Amino acid sequence: MKVERPKKPDIGSWTEQYPHLGTADVDYTDSVCPEFYERERDAIFRKAWIHVGRVEELPRVGSYFTKEYKVCDTSIIVARGQDKKIRAFHNICSHRGNKLVWEEFPNDETRGTTRVFQCKYHSWQYNLDGTLKQATREEEFFNFDRCRYGLAEISCDVWEGFIFINLDPTPEQTLKEFLGEMGEGLIDYPFHEMTQAYCFRAHIKSNWKVFADSFAEAYHTPYMHGKMSPEMAEDMVMADGIAFKMMGMHNTTSFRHVPSDIEQATPIEQLTQCGLYGPWKKPDLGGNLTPPGQNLSNHPDWGIDSHQIFPNFAIIIWERGWYHTWQFWPLNVDEHIFECRQYFVPPKNASERLAQEMATITTREYAAQDANTLEATHSMLKARIKTHLPLCDQELALRNLHYHVNEWVNGRRPGAVAAE
């Protein structure tokens, strides 16, 4: 079957609505050049607000988790204090620099609940608000002033239950300003009701942007994932974005729901009552299910929105009442850790639990195809035989990401402009 062609803007394309992005081939040197990566580390990853987790991961006073932030050679503790406030700190002991919180393997992330953070080396103890509680054998030190040796705090703020950090001690923009129209557009969506999390990650041998690119367009879907969606493979336009909106460095793209995913269900889809778009039965959700930033064109067949938050995070909201996030954690110019978290309303019975399992496995099966192809892409981009690559109208979100990465690397970020 064929679907109706999405109506493009009068100017002729989605892309040409944003003249600053141009339509020229895009220089992909930014994904393979070690010097460019070095500049990204300071200009982007030490300046932008970066998502690190959900408030539900810190349910009570003393809950904490650690986040490896290799792109800036640090590790971060995120903790809920006695006053319930969520704070972030560099995971470094003030005495002789030992990593403060870790279990078994220093490079593995960890989580838990505690009253104090105690260093494994000489047992200095820190309160949940980062102040030094106690230095062991304090009298052996010289003019010791406990106030001087708290943990190094990191700017931290919360938007709709998503915790963000900023390595800049005095961020040029608040988180609200940074998220701007994108943040406003999703206010009151019931993220906090979807607390059943299924998370997976992979070490990927590609530049972080190469993977972000692959999830930012659906042009590849009928081809790479054709076996999982025979209908799309029949009518390539079905995968197309039905609306695109660039909001500075962030963007939203809306996609349709494939019409007959239930009628053409496979045996396992019938058993689990779940398909490519998630569990067939929608959960009861409160909050605002149709915030202004969602289903941009109010399309009757709306199925998915991809909300890309600069630089390395995306929230994908499904019409069926669940969402997932992608995140790309750079390790070096050629490698990153890819992380996917899928969130559902807690299941009420075995059938609902099984439907969620099906949804998460479906995502993993197709993401495995994406992930492996990336290594093939990145390895050849490195040859620098093809440096300027043509991006079509369906690839607008990629064009936007590479444009803004270059803007930031060249010092042209929104906060910096305002500060001048």
At 237, which helix (H) or strand (E)? Answer: none
Evaluate whether 248 touches 404 at the Cβ level (below 8 Å).
Answer: yes
| Interface map 307-336 toward another protein (x if CB under 8 A) | ------------------------------
The two three-digit tokens of residue 193, written as one number: 């009701």
d(CA 59, CA 66): 15
Partner from another protein, ligand FES, Fe ion, none binding residue 353, C-beta < 5-8 Å depending on class:
another protein
Q: Which has the closest alpha carbon to 45: 388, 298, 413?
A: 413
Among 26, 50, 93, 163, indicate the residue that binds ligand FES (CB under 6 A): 93
Give the residue with the Cβ less far from Fe ion, 273 or 369: 369
Q: Residue 83, Cα to own-chain centre: how many angstroms? A: 28
d(CA 75, CA 186): 30
The residue type of 190 is: P
What's the farthest any 2 CA atoms get from each other in the chain?
80
**Is 161 a binder of another protein (CB under 8 A)?**
no
Among 64, 65, 89, 124, indicate the residue that binds ligand FES (CB under 6 A): 124
**Is 98 a binder of ligand FES (CB under 6 A)?**
yes
d(CA 334, CA 311): 17
The two three-digit tokens of residue 337, written as one number: 């850790």
**Is 121 a binder of ligand FES (CB under 6 A)?**
yes
**Is 106 a binder of ligand FES (CB under 6 A)?**
no
Instruction: Please list every residue from 215 through 234 that binds another protein, using CB under 8 A.
Output: 227-228
Partner from another protein, ligand FES, Fe ion, none binding residue 119, C-beta < 5-8 Å depending on class:
ligand FES
Q: What is the dihedral of CA 378, 379, 383, 387, to 10 degrees?
A: -10
Among 46, 375, 389, 403, indicate the residue that binds another protein (CB under 8 A): 375
Partner from another protein, ligand FES, Fe ion, none binding residue 202, C-beta < 5-8 Å depending on class:
another protein
| Least distance in angstroms from the C-beta of 143 to ligand FES | 18
**Is 200 a binder of ligand FES (CB under 6 A)?**
no
| Least distance in angstroms from the C-beta of 370 to another protein | 8
Instruction: Please list every residue from 55 through 114 that binds Fe ion, using CB under 5 A.
Output: none
| Least distance in angstroms from the C-beta of 300 to another protein | 29
Give the residue with the Cβ less far from another protein, 33 or 367: 367
**Is 375 a binder of Fe ion (CB under 5 A)?**
no
Residue 77, helix vs strand vs coil: strand
Among 33, 58, 119, 276, indicate the residue that binds ligand FES (CB under 6 A): 119
Residue whose token pair is 């930031």: 408
Evaluate whether 407 touches 39 at the Cβ level (below 8 Å).
Answer: no
Among 280, 347, 377, 416, indicate the residue that binds another protein (CB under 8 A): 347
**Is 198 a binder of another protein (CB under 8 A)?**
yes
Q: What is the dihedral of CA 233, 323, 343, 68, to 10 degrees?
A: 90
**Is 348 a binder of another protein (CB under 8 A)?**
yes
Total residues at interface with ligand FES (CB under 6 A):
8
Residue whose token pair is 């988180």: 175
| Least distance in angstroms from the C-beta of 67 to another protein | 12
Residue whose token pair is 């809950």: 63
Q: Which has the closest alpha carbon to 241: 10, 15, 11?
A: 15
The residue type of 196 is: Q
**Is 370 a binder of Fe ion (CB under 5 A)?**
yes
Instruction: Please list every residue from 29 through 88 that binds ligand FES, using CB under 6 A.
Output: none
